[in-house]
C-alpha cells in the first residue's frame, strides 16, 4: 500500500486519482478548497482517506498542511495537481486574473514542492508528479497566462529534479492534452474585445464557447496513466497523455529543433575567438 498526497483532489484528474487509488487499496491525503465532493468517499474509506482543506495560494497553510501530513505518514507520491485555466488575449485579461492565475498554478506548485522536499529527503526519497499540460510545451492563442504558468513550472521542475536526484527524489511532469475533465467549464473567461474577433484568439474563443473545441482525451484513462507514472520503477521526466498532446508536442519540438539547427552558424559566431 502506498500513501499519496494530492492537491486539487475535489474535481477533475485529482478526484479521479483519489477514487482509483482508494479502490485499489492505497491511502490518500486529499487536499482541496472544497471538501463537499469528497465527503462520500471519506465515509466509504474512512480508514485510508484524510481530507484536508487547502488553498495552495496560502503559502503558510501549504507548509503547515505538508508538515502535519509528513509528521504522521510516510508519503510515497506527492501529486501537485491544483490549478485552473485562464482564457483571454493578453489585452483582455485583468491584473487580478493574472495575479490569481500565477498564484495558483505557478507559485502554489512551487511552494508545495519546496514544502515537501525536506520531508522527502528525511525519509530517504519519494516521487513528485507535477501536473502540467501539453500547454507546458506548446501554446494556443488566448491561453497565454495559463501557458506562462505551465512553461514556468516545467522549468522549475527541470532544475529542482537535478538538485534533489542524489536524495532519491524523482519528478515526473504530467502533460495531458484536451481531456473531458470539467477543466473547460472551470476556465476563467476574460471579457472579449471586438478587436480580436477576426484573429486566431477570436477563433479559439468561438470554438471554446460553442463547444466545437474537441476533447479527445479520456479522463479515466488519463488518471490510470498518471498512477502508472507514480508507480513506475524507472520514472520518466515527462509523460504526454492523449493523441492531441503527443502530436502537438511532437510538431512543436520538431519545428523548434529545425529552427535552432538553421541558426547554428549564427549561434557559433557569437563565441569569443
Confidence at residue 32, expressed as pLDDT on a 0 to 100 scale: 95
| 196 catalytic residue (yes or no) | no
CATH of the domain at 78: 3.40.50.720
Catalytic residue among 10, 80, 132, 133: 132
Per the structure, the count of domains in the chain is 1
Which residues have CB under 8 Å from 254's CB, separation 6+?
none
pLDDT 10s digits, 158-170: 999 999 999 999 9
C-alpha 113/C-alpha 80 separation (Å) is 8
pLDDT 10s digits, 188-228: 999 999 999 999 999 999 888 887 677 778 899 999 999 99
| 11 catalytic residue (yes or no) | no
pLDDT 10s digits, 116-134: 999 999 999 999 999 999 9
Q: Is the pLDDT of residue 181 over 80?
A: no
Q: Is the pLDDT of residue 184 over 80?
A: no
CA distances from 31 to 79, 84, 121, 240 (A): 10, 15, 22, 25
Confidence at residue 208, expressed as pLDDT on a 0 to 100 scale: 85
Q: What is the mean pLDDT of the chain?
A: 95
> Which residue is it, cell 502540467?
132
Tell me the CA end-to-end span of the chain in Å, nearest whole number.
Answer: 59
| 150 catalytic residue (yes or no) | yes
User: E strands, 54-134, where?
Assistant: 77-80, 86-87, 126-131
Q: Which domain holds residue 122?
A: 3-269
Q: Which of residues 95 and 177 earns the better pLDDT score?
A: 95
Catalytic residue among 10, 109, 140, 146: 146
Catalytic residue among 11, 140, 150, 196: 150
Angle at 30 between CA 25 and CA 35, to 5 degrees: 125
* Sheet arrangement for strand 3-6: 49-53, 27-32, 3-6, 77-80, 126-131, 169-176, 238-241
Q: Is residue 157 within 8 Å of residue 180, measured between CB atoms? A: no
Amino acid at each position: 500500500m502506498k500513501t499519496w498526497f494530492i492537491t486539487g483532489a475535489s474535481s477533475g484528474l485529482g478526484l479521479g486519482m483519489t477514487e482509483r487509488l482508494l479502490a485499489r487499496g492505497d491511502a490518500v491525503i486529499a487536499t482541496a478548497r472544497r471538501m463537499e465532493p469528497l465527503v462520500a468517499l471519506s465515509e466509504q474509506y474512512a480508514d485510508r482517506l484524510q481530507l484536508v482543506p487547502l488553498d495552495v495560494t496560502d503559502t503558510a497553510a501549504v507548509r503547515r498542511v505538508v508538515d502535519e501530513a509528513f509528521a504522521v505518514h510516510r508519503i510515497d507520491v506527492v501529486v501537485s495537481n491544483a490549478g485552473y485555466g485562464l482564457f483571454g488575449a493578453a489585452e483582455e485579461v485583468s491584473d487580478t486574473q493574472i495575479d490569481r492565475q500565477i498564484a495558483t498554478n505557478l507559485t502554489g506548485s512551487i511552494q508545495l514542492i519546496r514544502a515537501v522536499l525536506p520531508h522527502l529527503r528525511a525519509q530517504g526519497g519519494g516521487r513528485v508528479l507535477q501536473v502540467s499540460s501539453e500547454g507546458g510545451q506548446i501554446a494556443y492563442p488566448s491561453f497565454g497566462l495559463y501557458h506562462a504558468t505551465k512553461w514556468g513550472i516545467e522549468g522549475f521542475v527541470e532544475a529542482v529534479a537535478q538538485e534533489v536526484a542524489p536524495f532519491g527524489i524523482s519528478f515526473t511532469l504530467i502533460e495531458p492534452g484536451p481531456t473531458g475533465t470539467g477543466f473547460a467549464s472551470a476556465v476563467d473567461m476574460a471579457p472579449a474585445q471586438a478587436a480580436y474577433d477576426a484573429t486566431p484568439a477570436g477563433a479559439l474563443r468561438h470554438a471554446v464557447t460553442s463547444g466545437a473545441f474537441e476533447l479527445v482525451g479520456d479522463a479515466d484513462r488519463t488518471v490510470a496513466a498518471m498512477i502508472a507514472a507514480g508507480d513506475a520503477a524507472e520514472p520518466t521526466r515527462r509523460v504526454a497523455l492523449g493523441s492531441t498532446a503527443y502530436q502537438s508536442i511532437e510538431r512543436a519540438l520538431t519545428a523548434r529543433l529545425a529552427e535552432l539547427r538553421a541558426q547554428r552558424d549564427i549561434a557559433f559566431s557569437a563565441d569569443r575567438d
